[in-house]
């Protein structure tokens, strides 16, 4: 057993931390959150030059062939600064789907462009039930045919070139690729407290061609579940990175802020709160790494991933909320970095299923009988 990062992983995280500190200061995060488009294209291109979007992609298709754990470590650094943008949607979830399900021709067309950051994809899954369960998908589509209906909470649809739309086709779960400029497709932004760019996407008789089906068709539920798990782990990594940053900011503040002649961090009430933050972050991170490692090794990891996501949702949100209490009034200000980290954690905790959904997976894994 070994909890240490491999040398290449150390380089990856050190590089990422330095890069993001330089190119993504808190003021910039704040600007992007308030900006309608909220997408820093030059930064995205620089990230592509570093090979980040290609981390999951094989070398012969333009990627750098990293492990899922490598991706998770990188996304943890992104979560640290509350990085906005389509990395998880495109470079993790959509890329995982194309890798798992795409035909050789689709992989050849899409993966090099995804690795180079030239093409951005996003998954359209959730419907009005609000559920991330693939079984909850009701949108019907025949291929070829016309697609009419809507998807909600589609991330970064405004910058995506194509959407991977989860549908039911011929009684099976299917995935279809729809370019965002195809007639009949419309995108309406949802206004969120985090500044995350989420959209309602409507399809009004959108033409679906035979080649739009991802892969050879057939049941896609397994590929979808695997990609959702990767996405869920990535959002868990964002939470852990964000919570780690909140912890560091809060401890720094507790050392510097003097009231009544001494730093507030000299008081046990603050000390004990900080001690709990450490525990929350450490525990969430340990569960995350084990789940990502197992998934990356191709072992059964659904329960581990669910455990990690459920735990981090509770623990990291607690860290964020206690962070506000330690900081006091100043953290209530828009220009203070804490609230965005908090909202980023909040958003990540709901994405790919909230804690209740994942706890249900854990409940089954520990052997609790279900209703059926």
Select the span of 157-165, 208-216, 251-259, 317-325 touching other proteins (CB under 8 A).
251-259
Three-state SS at 315: helix
Name 254's Cβ contacts closer than 8 Å, sequence gap at least 6.
263, 264, 265, 270, 271, 274, 326
Neighbour count for residue 151 (Cβ, 10 Å)? 23
- Rounded CA-CA distance 29/334 in Å is 11
Q: Which is nearer to other proteins, 65 or 282 (CB)?
A: 282
- Rounded CA-CA distance 40/188 in Å is 20
16, 68, 69, 224: which one binds other proteins (CB under 8 A):
69
Q: What is the CA radius of gyration of the chain?
A: 21
Asked if 350 interacts with other proteins (CB under 8 A), we say: no
Select the span of 86-94, 194-202, 232-240, 290-298 touching other proteins (CB under 8 A).
290-298
- Rounded CA-CA distance 177/98 in Å is 10
Task: Tell me the β-bridge partners of 169.
Answer: 172
Restricting to residues 293-332, which ones interact with other proteins according to CB under 8 A? 293-294, 307, 310-311, 314
Asked if 370 interacts with other proteins (CB under 8 A), we say: yes
Asked if 3 interacts with other proteins (CB under 8 A), we say: yes
Give how far Cα 119 sits from Cα of 70, 106, 348, Å: 22, 13, 23
Asked if 11 interacts with other proteins (CB under 8 A), we say: no
- Rounded CA-CA distance 323/319 in Å is 6
114, 125, 246, 254: which one binds other proteins (CB under 8 A):
254
- Count residues near other proteins (CB under 8 A): 50
The site for other proteins (CB under 8 A) is made up of 1-6, 9, 69, 251, 254-255, 262-263, 265-268, 270-272, 274-276, 278-279, 282-284, 286-287, 289-290, 293-294, 307, 310-311, 314, 356, 359-360, 362-363, 365-371
């Amino acid at each position: 057993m070994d909890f240490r990062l491999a040398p290449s992983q150390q380089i990856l995280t050190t590089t990422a931390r330095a890069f993001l500190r330089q190119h993504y200061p808190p003021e910039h995060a704040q600007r992007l959150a308030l900006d309608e488009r909220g997408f820093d294209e030059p930064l995205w291109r620089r990230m592509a030059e570093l090979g980040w979007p290609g981390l999951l992609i094989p070398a012969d298709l333009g990627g750098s062939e990293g492990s899922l754990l490598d991706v998770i470590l990188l996304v943890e650094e992104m979560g640290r600064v509350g990085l906005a943008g389509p990395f998880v949607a495109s470079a993790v979830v959509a890329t995982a789907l194309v890798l798992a399900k795409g035909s050789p021709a689709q992989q050849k067309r899409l993966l090099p462009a995804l690795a180079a950051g030239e093409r951005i994809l996003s998954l359209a899954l959730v419907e009005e039930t609000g559920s991330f369960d693939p079984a909850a998908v009701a949108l019907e589509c025949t291929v070829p045919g016309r697609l009419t209906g809507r998807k909600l909470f589609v991330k970064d649809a405004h910058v995506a070139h194509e959407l991977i739309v989860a549908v039911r086709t011929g009684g099976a779960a299917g995935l279809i690729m729809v370019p965002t400029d195809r007639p009949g497709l419309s995108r309406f932004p949802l206004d969120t407290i985090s500044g995350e760019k989420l959209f309602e996407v409507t399809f009004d008789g959108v033409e679906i061609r035979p080649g739009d089906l991802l892969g050879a068709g057939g049941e896609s539920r397994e590929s979808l579940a695997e990609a959702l798990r990767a996405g869920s782990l990535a959002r868990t990594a964002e939470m852990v990175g964000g919570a780690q940053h909140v912890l560091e900011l809060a401890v720094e503040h507790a050392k510097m802020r003097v009231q009544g002649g001494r730093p507030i961090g000299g008081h046990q009430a603050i000390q004990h709160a900080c001690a709990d933050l450490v525990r929350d972050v450490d525990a969430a991170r340990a569960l995350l790494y084990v789940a990502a490692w197992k998934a990356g090794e191709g072992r059964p990891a659904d329960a581990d991933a669910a455990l990690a996501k459920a735990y981090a949702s509770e623990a990291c949100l607690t860290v964020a909320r206690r962070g506000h209490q330690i900081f006091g009034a100043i953290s209530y200000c828009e220009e203070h970095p804490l609230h965005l980290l908090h909202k980023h954690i909040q958003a990540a905790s709901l994405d790919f299923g909230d804690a209740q959904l994942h706890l249900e997976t854990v409940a089954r894994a520990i052997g609790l009988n279900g209703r059926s």
